[in-house]
Amino acid sequence: MLKTQREIFGENLQSLMNAKGVYPRIIAEEIGVSDAAVSQWLAGEKYPRIDKIQKLADYFKVPKSALIEERPGNLVPVNPATVKIPILGFISCGHPIYAEENFVGYKTESPDLLPSGNLFYLEAKGQSMEPTVPNGAYVLIREQPDVEYGEIAAVLVNGDTEATLKRVKKQGNVIMLMPDNPNYEPYIVTPDNPARILGKAIRFTQNL
């Protein structure tokens, strides 16, 4: 079923807001409209005037096409050959560190080399996933609520306030977040120590 222009705009706006970590009230204040107007745009109920679209594009530092054209997942276009993937802060590869999904920039990629779905990068901190994932690597995450046995995932712990990168293993009803470095202890998921999978680790890149 084809999406309406209002629906496309609403989805694109929501994606850009998620990447930047802002709420409807902030958008309303920045461009001079009511909270209700932003909510209607996000719901696909109304379409903004062209001057408001330009203000939004200026605020997010993207072309207007990033708001009005349908895009796969949450990728922001740069040119026909590349896309920009948001970097959403840090993720611990040791003891979990605070890792709010605060937008810190973009990495540019060729869309031909990317899987489908909503994608983002997190920067790995720590040694618990070495030698598989080195400290300082940028890990490409595909947003999904579960992974297969033995796959590496970005996992939210401590009431969704901290994020850690671990290999997910399941034995019966027991879920274990396993480090690849034997010098680190696994994290056992229990009702008192809950966890939520944020997405699957696809690959990593590292600056020399």
pLDDT tens per residue, range 46-85: 999 988 999 998 888 888 888 888 765 555 555 556 778 8
Q: What is the per-residue pLDDT for 99? A: 44
Assign a CATH topology to domain 79-205: Umud Fragment, subunit A (2.10.109)
Give residue 191's pLDDT band: very low, low, confident or very high (50, 70, 90).
confident
Q: What is the per-residue pLDDT for 95? A: 53
Is residue 152 classed as helix, strand or coil in its secondary structure?
A: strand
Look up 166 and say whether it is catalytic: yes
Least confident of 75-84, 109-118, 178-187: 75-84
0.85 exceeded by pTM = no
Rounded distance between C-alpha atoms, residue 158 and residue 190, angstroms = 11
Least confident of 15-29, 78-92, 105-119, 146-160: 78-92
Rounded distance between C-alpha atoms, residue 31 and residue 190, angstroms = 45
Phi/psi for 187 (5° steps) reads -105, 115
Considering only residues 205 and 33, tell me which one the structure prediction assigns the higher pLDDT. 33
Active-site residue (options: 128, 169, 170, 200): 128
Considering only residues 159 and 119, tell me which one the structure prediction assigns the higher pLDDT. 119
Q: Domain limits of the chain?
A: 5-71, 79-205
Token pair for residue 163?
A: 């994020």
pLDDT tens profile 10-48: 988 988 888 777 888 889 998 999 999 999 999 989 999
Which helix (H) or strand (E) segment holds residue 165: the answer is strand 162-171
Answer for the pair 139, 167: CB distance below 8 angstroms, yes or no: no
Active-site residue (options: 166, 169, 170, 200): 166
Give residue 100's pLDDT band: very low, low, confident or very high (50, 70, 90).
very low
Assign a CATH topology to domain 5-71: 434 Repressor (Amino-terminal Domain) (1.10.260)
Look up 128 and say whether it is catalytic: yes
pLDDT tens profile 123-132: 888 899 999 9
Rounded distance between C-alpha atoms, residue 160 and residue 5, angstroms = 34
